Structure 1
Amino acid sequence: MSGILTGKRVLVTGVLMESSIAFHTARLAQEQGADVVLTGYGRLGLVERVARRLPRPAAVVELDVRDTGHLETLAGRVRESVGADVRLDGVVHSIAFAPQDALGGNFLATGWDSVATAVEVSAYSLKALAMACLPLMDERGGSVVGLDFDARTAWPAYDWMGVAKAALEATSRYVARDLGPRGVRCNLVAAGPIRTMAAKSIPGFDIFREVWGSRAPLGWDVSDPEPAARAVVALLSDWFPRTTGEIVHVDGGVHAIGA
């Protein structure tokens, strides 16, 4: 039986651990019929090892989103790995990082260098990745989907990563505006907290678990990335042909509930 991504090829960033939303996005994309290409930075062996746990083999291409050389050559290196006539129908941005001094209640003392790193890696990279992949999208366009954490409020300990996520949300809207005429949609999935490797670097992560445990009307499981991954896969598909610049919340409903 065909799936909603049958015949499509999707590039997924950020697959480092089997617990990540990115991994489950790649898995579900394959189960829905897509061919998947993964990118990794610094620990390609780890990405390749995790990739072997997917239902089908997936090519792995190195990508550091802060390296202009990597970005400028990404399309060519994907073609080398997959085929000269390859095209991409979808791109998943699952990239975020903030130095430790930009998290954990140090907001007012954090220096610009750390702030700049958080914003470049976590927000500017959405635009950089979309433009690097654009040569692989023909006149049919495609779908860019990024992973977000609701940035409308100031969260304990999240500090400059919260600011970077707010920048990501704004960046997504501008990418949607400027690439829409080329048939490219850009949307975000604002997921609730998931206990991933990235989450372990956030001081006070248990605060988020407590908030979601008491306020999510649908309930929330911090160990289950699949609901967010399903939303990503849906946005990659043709079922949202005229949706762009949107933020889809997959958080058990917490974003809609007051104290």
Structure 2
Amino acid sequence: MLHGKTLLITGVLMESSIAFHVARLAQENGATVILTSFGRTMKITQAIARRLPEPAPVIELDVQDEEHLATLADRLGEHCDQLDGVLHSIGFAPEGAFTFLDASWEDVATAMHVSAYSLKALGVAALPRMRDGGSIVGLTFDASFAWPVYDWMGVAKAAFESTSRYLARDLGPKGVRCNLVAAGPIRTTAAKSIPGFEQFEEMWDSRAPLGWDVEDGRPAAQACVALLSDWFPATTGEIVHVDGGVHAMGA
């Protein structure tokens, strides 16, 4: 499905992460994979990269660092000439952002920068290597509702989803698609940083017509791989739900 393609994958921090499953499935389907990490997590990502079917290089990328973004295309050139796809699996909010009425602008601004604006920043930074077009795929948590405990991260995800649509508009003429996968709750590093996230785990399986396993990131990863492939050549600005069907249920 991805034979001959080169993909840039962010957010690989543990084997349970959706990003790790995407990297593994991408390699199994013929892709060359390049990972990103930064700071203290670089060593973690490098160790996890060795658990993939084929070891993958890890380049440094902090989406809040303008120099990292400005030099990304050149640094990618050390590993590939053409980039065919990007997985955005990045999200962070300070603890204060999970108390909606008391959150400071500083905490909210950080959540918006890392979890929403970074999609545009990453897309623009990777664009010089996407000369033949390609696909950008991001991971979201359905921002159509006000969820328990999610608070300003939910607002950031709403901005993230809107950013994807505008990115689809502006990159479409360059042959680049931008779509999102709205995954149900998975026990990932990001999930563990959300106070009270177990509330999602407790209710999701009972509301999902297809059932839901919070330990299994593969269904969401399979959707990402499909969107990164050539099987959706005329789809952009879309949100694909991989949540067991919860988004379609009233109660």
Band of TM-score, shorter chain: over 0.9
Paired with 1:41 and 1:19, the residues of 2 have a C-alpha distance of: 19
- Give yes or no for the alignment of 1:22 onto 2:14: no
Paired with 1:253 and 1:41, the residues of 2 have a C-alpha distance of: 35
Partner of 1:56: 54
Describe the SS at the equivalent of 1:187: strand
Please list every run of 5 or more consecutive structure 2 residues that lacks an aligned counterpart in the other structure: none
Partner of 2:128: 135
The two structures, once aligned, show a CA RMSD in angstroms of 0.7
Partner of 2:2: 5
Q: How does 1:1-259 map to 2 (within 5 A)?
A: 4-42=1-39, 43-80=41-78, 82-83=79-80, 86-103=81-98, 106-138=99-131, 140-259=132-251
Report the CA distance between 1:205 and its aligned residue.
1.3
Report the CA distance between 1:98 and its aligned residue.
0.2
Describe the SS at the equivalent of 1:91: strand
Paired with 2:89 and 2:45, the residues of 1 have a C-alpha distance of: 14
Report the CA distance between 1:209 and its aligned residue.
1.1
Describe the SS at the equivalent of 1:39: strand
Describe the SS at the equivalent of 2:77: helix
Per-residue displacement from partner, 1:187-217 (whole Å, max 9, x unpaired)?
0000000011111111111110122121000
Task: Output the TM-score relative to the length of structure 1.
Answer: 0.95
Paired with 1:233 and 1:202, the residues of 2 have a C-alpha distance of: 26
Paired with 2:97 and 2:177, the residues of 1 have a C-alpha distance of: 31
Per-residue displacement from partner, 1:33-82 (whole Å, max 9, x unpaired)?
000000001121111000000000211100000000000000111112x1
Number of residue-to-residue matches in the alignment? 250
**Partner letter of residue 48 of structure 2?**
V
Describe the SS at the equivalent of 1:163: helix
Paired with 1:170 and 1:211, the residues of 2 have a C-alpha distance of: 27
Deviates more, 1:39-48 or 1:123-132: 39-48
Describe the SS at the equivalent of 1:124: helix
Per-residue displacement from partner, 1:79-118 (whole Å, max 9, x unpaired)?
12x14xx110000000000000111xx1011010000000
Deviating runs (4+, > 2 A) in structure 1? Answer: none
Task: Output the TM-score relative to the length of structure 2.
Answer: 0.98
**Partner letter of residue 96 of structure 1?**
G
Paired with 1:224 and 1:64, the residues of 2 have a C-alpha distance of: 27
Describe the SS at the equivalent of 1:125: helix
Paired with 2:43 and 2:100, the residues of 1 have a C-alpha distance of: 35
Paired with 2:144 and 2:202, the residues of 1 have a C-alpha distance of: 19
